[in-house]
Amino acid sequence: QKEVEQDPGPLSVPEGAIVSLNCTYSNSAFQYFMWYRQYSRKGPELLMYTYSSGNKEDGRFTAQVDKSSKYISLFIRDSQPSDSATYLCAMSSLGAQKLVFGQGTRLTINP
Amino acid sequence: DAEITQSPRHKITETGRQVTLACHQTWNHNNMFWYRQDLGHGLRLIHYSYGVQDTNKGEVSDGYSVSRSNTEDLPLTLESAASSQTSVYFCASSDNLDNEQFFGPGTRLTVL
């Protein structure tokens, strides 16, 4: 079993829809949770960063962490074609510099 | 502006050849990482370094090596390229204040 599991999709939704992307993990030591966005033929870029449990909002994006269930989510409101990308979750434990990545979910927003 | 660059961006080589992929960062970050990205596997860590002269193996290190002689560079060497090493390779760096990693643009390697 992988430390971090992420449904690879692909996921295709119409413009304006609410998108929910999720990851589960098995390592209870994980404290830092991130979402990276990767456009086609580009390197990943950090989108959201949360520490421990709770929610974080940034514009149309909301990251949620539920440590009791070992489950994290990324919500995209009012999705746009420019949100079409691969979204990767990543996690690390306290004091660790290494990240453990999920497989990535390929998302397409249709105009 | 600080950045992280990789070269070459594309490489085609033959089985058995030695190949070196370059990674250069101007962030002055202590930590540098090499990943490979394949369909269905996401990003898998090959090697990483927490400073000059420090190198560590990741989860898929067999057939790869790195050396860190300065802060800016972490070249990745494939000792004897195999077709299973056909992949997209990403270099990343981070500082010790938080663990956000900044990624390079990637190198697409094909081993024939």
pLDDT digits (tens, 9 = 90+) for A77-104: 999 999 999 999 999 998 788 999 999 9
Query: Are A82 and A32 a contacting pair, CB within 8 Å?
Result: no
What are the chain B neighbours of A91 within 8 Å (beta carbons)? none
Helix (H), strand (E), coil (C) string for A63-96: EEEECCCCEEEEEECCCCHHHCEEEEEEEEECCC
Partner residue facing A96 (CB), from B33, B99, B103:
B99
Query: Are A33 and A91 a contacting pair, CB within 8 Å?
Result: yes
Q: Which of A52-56, A68-72, B8-12, B16-20 has the lowest mean pLDDT?
A: A52-56
What are the chain A neighbours of B33 within 8 Å (beta carbons)? 98
Smallest CA–CA distance from A86 into chain B, residue: B42
Q: To probe the interface with B, which of A99, A100, A106 has the most B CB atoms within 10 Å?
A: A99
The answer to whether B105 contacts A103, with C-beta atoms less than 8 Å apart, is no
Peptide bond into B8 cis (omega under 30): yes
- CA distance linking residue B33 with residue A98, whole number of Å: 8
Smallest CA–CA distance from B31 into chain A, residue: A97
Check residue B112 and give its pLDDT.
96
pLDDT digits (tens, 9 = 90+) for B66-97: 999 999 999 999 999 999 999 999 999 998 87
Contact residues for A62 (Cβ-Cβ < 8 A; gap 6+): A55, A56, A74, A75, A77
Partner residue facing B43 (CB), from A32, A42, A101:
A101
Check residue B97 and give its pLDDT.
79
Query: Are A11 and A108 a contacting pair, CB within 8 Å?
Result: yes
- First-to-last alpha carbon distance for chain B, in angstroms, is 37
The answer to whether A104 contacts B48, with C-beta atoms less than 8 Å apart, is no
Contacts 24+ apart (CB under 8 A), B1-7: B2/B26, B2/B27, B2/B28, B3/B27, B4/B91, B4/B92, B4/B93, B4/B102, B4/B103, B4/B104, B5/B104, B5/B105, B6/B89, B6/B90, B6/B91, B6/B104, B6/B105, B6/B106, B6/B107, B7/B107
- HSE-up (13 A, CA, CB side) for residue B28: 2
Check residue A97 and give its pLDDT.
85
Smallest CA–CA distance from A96 into chain B, residue: B99
Chain B within 8 Å of A98 (Cβ-Cβ)?
yes
Q: Distance from CA of residue B76 to its chain's centroid? A: 5
Residue spans of chain B under pLDDT 70: none
**Number of CB atoms found within 10 A of residue A103's CB:** 24
Check residue B42 and give its pLDDT.
87
